[in-house]
Amino acid sequence: MRYEHLGHSPRIDATAVIAPTAVVSGDVTIGPGCQILHGAVITAEGGPITIGPSSIVMENALLRSSASDPLHIGEHVLVGPMASVSGATIGDEVFLATGSRVFNGARIGTRSEVRINAVVHLRTVLPPDSTVPIAWVAVGDPARILSPDRHDEIWEIQQDLDFPGYVFGLDRQTPDLMVQLTERYARHLARHADDIPLTDPSAG
């Protein structure tokens, strides 16, 4: 299904194939030869999403942008099933495997691989030809690639990246952080109440 969101409708090349159960919402540009499979959700939350030619978004993957962090997927990229990518820049010929997670402000260089259940954290920069092993975590700029059992090292770097401040504009030390965060984010997401379904496949 395709939706107009905040006055923007998806722009989809005539040669791209969008599965009937995929959701494409808002300021989204999908290039020639792309394949968007069943259950994928591509939602532009105030900033644009661009998907380059011949890229594939597999089942139940989530691609999301924000006003501060557009999302760009390069050419010949494979986004695996149940992967999640938010407000990042993904270079050409990148493989994001099943269950991988890429967070806001991250940049992944050309020909890199983020393997099954691996994480590229907030504002992390991976140079070209990088590999994040299965379930490992890339964090920082320049990126350190660490096994998940090294949580204290990951957290030491992650604290300075300031997820609540960068993504939600809130101080981590706020006593009612989750109250303010959820109320603010709920107001933001409530804008989808005004979305307009686009029943014509050629709309936008």
* Residue 185: partners with Cβ closer than 8 Å, 6 or more residues away: 168
Does any domain span residue 203?
A: no
Cα 180–27–115 angle (5° rounding)? Answer: 75
The pLDDT tens digits for 73-111 are 999 999 999 999 999 999 999 999 999 999 999 999 999
The pLDDT tens digits for 122-164 are 999 999 999 999 999 999 999 999 999 999 999 999 888 999 9
Does any domain span residue 133?
A: yes
Does any domain span residue 204?
A: no
- Cα–Cα dist 170/182, whole Å: 11
Cα-based distances in Å from 94 to 67, 106, 131, 163, 192? 24, 14, 10, 25, 31
Cα 78–80–86 angle (5° rounding)? Answer: 90
Whole-model pTM: value is: 0.93
Count of structural domains, the chain: 1
- Number of C-beta neighbours around residue 61 at 10 A: 25
Residue 52, domain extent: 2-198
**Residue that has been written with the tokens 């149940």 in this structure:** 82
Does any domain span residue 117?
A: yes
CATH number where 98 lies: 2.160.10.10
